[in-house]
Amino acid sequence: MTQETAEWTEPAEPAEGYPEIDALFDSLPNKNGALIPLLHKAQEVYGYLSQEIQVYVAQKLNIPAAKVFGVATFYSLFNLEKKGQFKINVCLGTACYVRGAETILAAFEKELGIDQTETTKDGMFTLDSIRCVGACGLAPVVMIDDKVYGRVTPGDVKTIVDEHLGQGGQ
Ligand code: FES
């Protein structure tokens, strides 16, 4: 599910408590502009904005939860779904595209058994694409978190995945 197509559904129960959100809320002199800073903090700490977190923030600010959801879905920097331990981004910028980036993306989809934007069931990998990362001379390029892999071939994909599976949980 992409953020654009996400729909708000009322969660059963609001969350019990998020100390990091409480601490930031208490430290803000102006609570009126607190929504985005609180969402930023929540994502930084928890990795994504679950519906429970959104409800919690709404309660803190005494605003409708649907309003928080609206802001969380509007800004692409907010994640509404839990991401994998490793974020694989295949560059689909022009230089990478003409050098076969689509076949690299397809190879990752096949190796991981997921489509673009999805996360593997074991929570290890999230697969996505990005536009030019400024390393066109190395095209086609794949980024895994902050690490750049250049001149990647479909045959490299399994090795890259296995290398990270070996690092899982560290
Ligand atoms: S187009 Fe991929 S790094 Fe520039």
Region 103-113: mean pLDDT is 98
Answer yes or no: is the C-beta of 161 below 6 A from any ligand 1 atom: no
Answer yes or no: is the C-beta of 153 below 6 A from any ligand 1 atom: no
- 139 token code pair: 């095209």
Q: Which domains does the chain have, with CATH numbers?
A: 3-74 (1.10.10), 86-165 (3.40.30.10)
Answer yes or no: is the C-beta of 42 below 6 A from any ligand 1 atom: no
Distance from Cα 141 to the centre of ligand 1, integer Å: 7
Distance from Cα 153 to the centre of ligand 1, integer Å: 15
Distance from Cα 13 to the centre of ligand 1, integer Å: 44
Distance from Cα 75 to the centre of ligand 1, integer Å: 24
Furthest-apart CA pair in the chain: how many Å?
55
Region 67-87: mean pLDDT is 91
Q: Say what the pLDDT of residue 82 is.
A: 86
Measured between alpha carbons, how far is residue 24 from residues 16, 37, 130, 140, 157 in Å?
Answer: 17, 8, 32, 42, 41
Instruction: Please indicate, yes or no, whether the overall pTM of this predicted structure exceeds 0.95.
Output: no
Residue 166 reports pLDDT greater than 90: no
Distance from Cα 134 to the centre of ligand 1, integer Å: 6
Answer yes or no: is the C-beta of 148 below 6 A from any ligand 1 atom: no
Residue 46 reports pLDDT greater than 90: no
Ligand 1 atom closest to 138 (CA): 3
- 165 token code pair: 């599976």
Answer yes or no: is the C-beta of 133 below 6 A from any ligand 1 atom: yes
Look-up of token digits 């999805």 = 118
Residue of higher predicted confidence among 169 and 120 = 120
CB distance 27 to 41 below 8 Å: no
